[in-house]
Amino acid sequence: MPACAMWSAAQSQTIRAGHSYRHPIHGILIRCWPVATPLRAAIAPNPKIKVRPFVESTQRNRVIALAALFQVASLVKDVAWHGRCDIDEFNTLVSSLFSFEATDIDGVYGNIHRLRRGMQAMANQLEAGGRGGDMELTRYVIGLLHLERRLMKHPDMVQAIREGIQAAERQREYFDDPAHESVIAALAQTYQDTISQLGPRIIVQGEQAHLSNGDNAARIRTLLLAGIRSAVLWRQAGGSRWRLLFSRSGLLREARALLAH
């Protein structure tokens, strides 16, 4: 049984003090403090519930989550304008959707060096500040952060995404390939059936010949779903719109330090 299968009975289970559970979208262990409450509340956050996610609120974790978002944006741009993207960078993001056993943010992505492209793109944007940079990437990142906040207000949709990811995971195990067309099609359909309905939709710019290709459209939707996962991690690590506005220098210093290793 997949690690996240316990969430299938979210209506009836209860959170027990001292136990750890996994959030279907967060994919990170959640430790519950002494309080009993319906498990569904872990999907629809309630301020009265004392739940601590296993994503520490550190600058390093925020930078990693933000780097993943920028890597998503970079690959979306690649597919939209050129009809292709780096397969290793793509697999890193797709695999993050299935990282149910991760106990920290490093485990979600396997190795933070796999996010080097996103880290560099993020550092470039932070360094440019309001003086330019790649505004297309910024638009995608801000759009994903906005959609994640809206998604967390819809627990039924979170449940539907969980089920869609589980279905795709079974195909991934069967084909032993996270980038198999059947896996990507299932993840893309999950995004289209759920997050695409939230609005406002993320408008992807690119060459019409590439955008109208079904396989490319599926890759883009799958990348955006992985971006929602990264946006959740950003928020869990203490990220917010205010941090993006007023903590640019701190984020940039941390990004440069990680890139130097």
In the chain, what are the helix, strand and coil shares in percent, each to the nearest 5? 65, 5, 30
Query: If you average pLDDT over residues 81-86, what whole number do you get?
Result: 97
Task: Give the C-alpha separation, 135 to 132, whole Å.
Answer: 7
Give pLDDT, residue 133. 75
Query: If you average pLDDT over residues 35-48, what whole number do you get?
Result: 34
Give the number of C-alpha atoms closer than 13 A to the C-alpha of residue 160, restricted to the C-beta side: 16
Give pLDDT, residue 110. 87
The full set of domain ranges for the chain reads 3-53, 59-259
Task: Give the C-alpha separation, 88 to 53, whole Å.
Answer: 29
Query: If you average pLDDT over residues 247-255, what whole number do you get?
Result: 93
The region of weakest confidence among 66-75, 128-137, 188-197 is 128-137
- pLDDT band of residue 36 (cuts 50, 70, 90) is very low
Q: Any idea which architecture 59-259 has in CATH? A: Orthogonal Bundle (1.10)
- pLDDT band of residue 237 (cuts 50, 70, 90) is very high
Residue 176 token pair: 């032993």
Give pLDDT, residue 130. 62
122-177 pLDDT, tens per residue? 999 999 876 767 899 999 999 999 999 999 999 999 999 999 999 999 999 999 99
Q: What percent of the chain has pLDDT over 70?
A: 79
Residue 95 has pLDDT above 90, yes or no: yes
Q: CA 154, 199, 27 angle in degrees (round to 5)? A: 45
User: Which one has a higher pLDDT value, 55 or 209?
Assistant: 209
- pLDDT band of residue 53 (cuts 50, 70, 90) is low
User: Which one has a higher pLDDT value, 86 or 34?
Assistant: 86
